[in-house]
A and B are shown apart, each in its own frame.
Chain A
Amino acid sequence: MITASWVALFAPAVGVLLIALARDLISKKQAGYIAATSVLVSFGSSLCALINLLGEDPEERSHSSSIWTWLSAGSFKVDLQIMVDPLSVLMMLIVSGVGFLILSYAVGYMHGDGEERRYHAYKALFVFSMLLLVQSGNLLLLLAGWGMVGLSSYLLINFWHQRASAVHAGKKAFIMNAFGDATFAIAIFLLAQRVGALDFGTVFSQAPEVIDKSSVAAVVIALGLLGAAVAKSAQVPLHTWLPDAMEGPTPVSALIHAATMVTAGVYMVARTHVLFELAPAILHLAAVLGAITLLMAGFIALVQTDIKRVIAYSTMSQIGYMFVAVGLGAYGAGMFHLMTHAFFKALLFMAAGIVIHALAGEQDIRKMGGLGKRLPLTFRIFVIGSLALAGIPPLAGFFSKDLILAHALAEGVIGPILWVCALVGAFLTAIYTFRLLFVVFFGKPSEHVEGHLHKERFEGPFAMMWPVGILTVLAVVGGLIEIPGAWHGISNWVEPVAAPLQEPEVWMEVLSPIVAVALAVLGAGIAWRLWGTQSDTPARLRERLPQVATALEHKLYWDEAYDRVFSVPAQQTALFLRRAIEGPIVLGSVGELGRSVRALGGRIARVQSGLLRSYALALAAGLAVIIVVFISVR
């Protein structure tokens, strides 16, 4: 099992090396196949680890293995160490499984791009980084994986580096993630100082003994970890990079910015729940931030016009649900939603990718419409993805979202408030999801569609369709692994690692789905009324509430505010320093230094007269001086 996990970790790294070293020896398609195969090997190995774990007693399903000491300083030691336990195996399966499907899809999607090899190598690098993140057995390695997924995300967002907006978006994502990395590092420093070790086993057993509950240290550590999670998972207030990250190719959005990387924050909170439980206020803060994000993203998604941005805001909103779950201590529920979300959100992105592909790169939904008849298969897939996202039974999203709702109801004071927020969020989810569906696939084909879809059916090659098919099946049945009130596959699986803080009662598990589904259906109905039929209600609403609409279209002015507060002052300071300090002092002194050295050299060079006899005289004189000195000193 340990060997299988190591193989799972390093297989994608080998894939990257093969693609990088083979260069032109392999065709672009083969590079894609190498990347996909390496991830498939990871998935197979993860399955091996899963089967082995299943054969063990639930209490003993935790193994750690290290191959060498990475760094040591006195008694402080960090190993290159992996952890195999239910939580990491679950993440490994999601990352490598969904990763394999999306990498296979990308072989078809990226076909014809000039730099396909680089793309596939980056993609495999991402899977390696993500596996490192979820498999690491200590916090430092977790941080290394954390940084590396940030790097691969950056590389892939600005994959089309000819586009200025893509480069901009990549930088933005990297900088905002770097902020999270920094707070993560602060938390790790403090832990290393207090506990003296960073491996999960020691930290989680020692930390409650040496750090007092709700002490300053506990709060700072939890805040540092939360900062990292919030940045990586695009939650308020560090969320603005995610919509811009949609500049990357669509399979990248599906894998990194929907299914796996952005959910790393949820995994991290579940993994380090011991540290968060030492500071319950911060854990609740995570839940509150999640609730704010899920509402805000839901509202913004209502007015966005870029198909990928709508799905991106929906991703933020769904991760908000996961944060609510883990913030309330319902780790199993959070992980369950993470899994089902990976299925249906990847599915939605891939379906959107097919639409964008078919329309020659067009992403504006106002130019779409009536695609249902032209892309019937994609249409059905999109319907299934939307139903799963909106939480309509019996699809995946229904079970996972309602488990979170039930857990919220079970929590004391803060729970019911979050429950209401989550229900409003579910309502909004249904509206924006079905708005997307109706605007893109219903109604009459627009001029743009008529112009670009000449063939009666063009939905992409088989290479793109079969991974979508598998994901469709998963989005339909993926939720059955855990049925609230009946049986708890994921919760029981994760429980040995992260036991939930509360146990919802049966009436909560029954009430929540009923209300949520009712609201979702109501939302879908409203969406049909507004965008499904030919009505002028959206335009009238816009006229009625112009400020609200403008604010939402500007994404509630977060970007503008960050520009004002951070970006502009930083640029002004830099310009000032360039003018006042660098110009006259740094640049001036460097030139002066060079000139004076040259002048000195010119003067010394005159000694080299070329006159042989003067050299000989100097020699003789020097010798004489030395002799005189030796004799007189003695």
Chain B
Amino acid sequence: MTGPGIVAYVVLSVFLFSIGAVGVLVRRSPLIVLLALEIMLNAGNLALIAFSRHWGNGDGQIFALAVMVVAAAEAVVGLGLIVAMSRRRVALDVDKLTTLRG
């Protein structure tokens, strides 16, 4: 098997994860926050697959599949929340959702 070494994959994964994290932290639209979360998860997936190939066993791939399932479930809940928000005509802005303030 040829191709880029493990370092390239991990660097790419860190890059993607950072993009996702910044997106979660700075964007106020819940939709975009959700998208950024997906990017973070997929960064994790990429790292898992890369290490799987590096070590030559399938553990990482199994983990990646599990992460995808969690991501799908999370997307369902997240989108459901967003739909519920828009139905109630609540502004789609996470900074305005402060009902749980202490």
Instruction: Indicate if the CB atoms of B101 and A610 lie closer than 8 Å.
Output: yes
Nearest chain B CB to A222 CB, angstrom units: 69
Q: B21: CB under 8 A from chain A?
A: yes
Question: Are B102 and A616 closer than 8 Å at their CB atoms?
Answer: no
Q: Determine whether the beta carbon of A609 is less than 8 Å from that of B94.
A: no
**Would you call B2 an interface residue if the criterion is a C-beta within 8 Å of the partner chain's C-beta atoms?**
no
Complex Cα distance, B33 from A617, in Å, reads 13
Contact B102 A608 (CB under 8 A): yes
Shortest distance in angstroms between B88's beta carbon and chain A's nearest beta carbon? 17
Do A616 and B25 touch (CB < 8 A)?
yes
Q: Which residues 605-634 of A sit at the B interface, judged by CB distance below 8 A?
A: 605-613, 616-617, 620
Cβ contacts under 8 Å, A613 to chain B: 24-26, 28, 94-95
- B7 is an interface residue with CB less than 8 A from chain A: no
**Residue of B26, B95, B97, B102 with highest tally of chain A CB at under 10 A:** B102
Question: Could you say which residues of chain A place their CB within 8 Å of the CB of B24?
Answer: 613, 616
Inter-chain contact A608/B94, CB cutoff 8 Å: no
Q: State in angstroms the CA–CA spacing of A605 and B94 once bound together.
A: 20
- Which B-chain residue is minimally distant from A602 (CB atoms)? B102
Mask, A275-293, CB within 8 Å of B = 1, is: 0000000000000000000
Indicate which residue in B26, B94, B102 contacts A612 across the interface (CB closer than 8 Å). Answer: B94
- Residues of chain B contacted by A610 (CB below 8 angstroms): 97-102
Closest A-chain residue to B99, C-beta based? A610
In the complex, are the beta carbons of A608 and B25 less than 8 A apart?
no
CB–CB B25/A617 < 8 A:
yes
CB distance A609 to B25 under 8 Å? no
Whether A620 pairs with B21 at a CB distance below 8 angstroms is: yes
Q: Out of B21, B26, B95, B100, name the residue touching A608 (CB < 8 Å).
A: B100
A606→B101 CA distance, assembly (Å):
8
Q: Is the CB of A611 within 8 A of B102?
A: no
Within 8 A of A (CB), among B43-102: 94-95, 97-102
Q: How large is the interface on B (under 10, 10 to 19, 20 to 34, 35 or more residues)?
A: 10 to 19
Nearest chain B residue, comparing its CB with the CB of A621: B25
Q: Is the CB of A611 within 8 A of B21?
A: no
Contacts of A616 in B (CB 8 A): 24-25
Evaluate whether A606 and B94 lie within 8 angstroms (CB atoms) in the complex, with A613-B25, A616-B24, A617-B25 already known: no
> Within the assembled complex, what's the spacing in Å between the Cα atoms of A605 and B100?
11
Identity of the chain A residue whose Cβ is nearest the Cβ of B24 in the assembled complex: A616
**Complex: how many Å from CA A331 to CA B95?**
93
* Contact assessment for B25 and A606 in the assembled complex, using a CB-CB cutoff below 8 Å: no
Chain B residue at minimal CB-CB distance from A609: B101
The contact string, 1 if C-beta is below 8 Å from chain A, for chain B 1-42, is 000000000000000000001001110100000000000000
Chain A 164-190 interface mask (CB, 8 Å, partner B; 1/0) = 000000000000000000000000000
Cα distance, A308 to B26, chains bound together (Å): 93
Nearest A residue (CB) for B100: A610
Q: Which residues of A contact B99 (CB under 8 A)?
A: 610
| CB-CB nearest in chain A for B101 | A610
Contact A605 B95 (CB under 8 A): no
B32 to chain A, nearest CB (A): 12
Asked whether B95 lies within 8 Å of A611 as measured between CB atoms, the reply is yes
For residue B9, give the distance in angstroms from its CB to the closest CB of chain A. 19
A residues 567-612 touching B (CB-CB < 8 Å) = 605-612
Which residues does chain A contribute within 8 Å of B25, judged by CB atoms? 613, 616-617, 620
User: Provided the pairs A616-B25, A617-B25, A620-B21 are in contact, do residues A609 and B98 lie with their beta carbons within 8 angstroms?
Assistant: yes
CB distance from B3 to the nearest CB of A (A): 28
Nearest chain B CB to A277's CB is how many angstroms away? 77
Give chain A residues whose Cβ lies under 8 Å from the Cβ of B28. 613
Please pick, from B26, B100, B102, the residue contacting A607 in the complex, using a CB distance under 8 A: B102
**Min CB–CB distance B99 → chain A (angstroms):** 6
Taking CB atoms, residues of chain B closer than 8 Å to A611 are: 94-95, 98
A612 to B99, CA, bound (A): 11
Q: Which residue of A608, A617, A620 is within 8 Å of B101 (Cβ)?
A: A608
User: In whole angstroms, what is the CA distance A612 to B95 when docked?
Assistant: 7
**How many angstroms between the C-alpha atoms of A129 and B10 in the bound complex?**
83
- Give the distance in Å from the alpha carbon of A607 to the alpha carbon of B95 in the complex: 15
> Within the assembled complex, what's the spacing in Å between the Cα atoms of A64 and B28?
86
State how many angstroms separate the Cβ of B94 from the closest Cβ of chain A: 5
Which one of B21, B26, B100, B102 lies within 8 Å of A606 (CB-CB)? Answer: B102
Residues of B near A620 (CB, < 8 A) are: 21, 25
The 10 closest A-B pairs by CB, nearest first: A608-B102, A610-B98, A610-B101, A605-B102, A612-B94, A610-B100, A616-B24, A617-B25, A609-B101, A616-B25
Could you name 10 residue pairs across A and B whose Cβ atoms are closer than 8 Å?
A: A607-B102, A608-B102, A610-B98, A610-B100, A610-B102, A611-B95, A612-B94, A613-B95, A616-B25, A617-B25
New A-B contacts (12) at CB < 8 Å, excluding given A609-B98, A613-B24, A616-B25:
A605-B102, A608-B101, A610-B97, A610-B99, A611-B94, A612-B94, A612-B95, A612-B97, A613-B26, A616-B24, A617-B25, A620-B21
Residues of B within 8 A of A (CB): 21, 24-26, 28, 94-95, 97-102
